[in-house]
Structure 1
Amino acid sequence: MSKVDLIFNRVSRILEVFMIVIFALLVLDVLFQVFSRYLLGTSFTWTEEFARFALIWMTILGAAYLNGKKEHLSMDFLYQKFSETNKRKASILIEVLIFLFALIVMVIGGLNLVYTTLHLEQLSGTLRIPLGYVYAIMPFSGFLIMCFSIYHISNFLKNKNIE
């Protein structure tokens, strides 16, 4: 196993653990909200906002994770009809398009969003944290997707078989 493969596996494992932690916090947050509302008779407003932010982070990080594992949703009926050479070409083209999307929309657009919300000092309604910190997950995940796309392209170029 090469050094790049070890780094890829380590980053994937860190993402897994981080998403598990976010999910566990989300579950605890929702359980606390239900407990406080029905058993204590009071409702804490911050729990809904925390749940929303945790779900955003988990979703965006999950997209990067699934891209790295190549387990994202795809329709491959036509792709399966291709020869091995055309599969390799199509796979590289798909990864280049994913890379460009992540660069333009997630990294550049995400950094613009983070900068704008931090510059305007926008705070979340209840938790009063800068929204730029919440939105920072977008360029971070975009960067991960770009790295994963480069990793996949290099594997397609090195290997003869496509899987």
Structure 2
Amino acid sequence: MKQTAFQPGDRVVLPPYGIGVVRGTCLRPVSGEAHAYYQVEFPNTASQAFVPVAAPDTAGMRAALTARDMPALLSSLKTSRLNLPRQWAARHRRVTEILVSGNPFELAILTCELRRWNVERGLPDLDRQAFRRAIKLLEQEVSGLHDPGAQDVQLLLSHAWNENPQHLGS
């Protein structure tokens, strides 16, 4: 087998499954030919996935965030702005693109903007669902990191979800 970019024990993200751990590589027959695959297991489930070693990016697999990424992620969660369309259909398309991408920094920017909207005026149901989904995806990404920065991110995410809109005249 060729040298792999991911090693056993590496934390990876594989949309739509979420955070997984590379358990190793294996050969699997496809059309009578053996191909190398990463064997990825997902904690707390019996699920596993096999991702081609030759092209993990085509399956969307990427390395999970590390402690080094936490300061930038926290900054994005606190201060980012995203110009989301006000018209629901266009906004829904853009939000869905971000959620499906699984890019943690785009998710952080989306979370920051939806948090701002929630505090200013409250969120309609579908935007609130998107907000919750973005938070859950980010929580998955930082879970398992035992680092003060990761704890700060988790605390901010927990606080953001529990904030209530500010009502004028209250």
TM-score (norm 2): 0.30
TM-score between the two structures when normalised by the length of structure 1: 0.31
Max radius of gyration: which structure? 1
Bigger helix fraction:
1
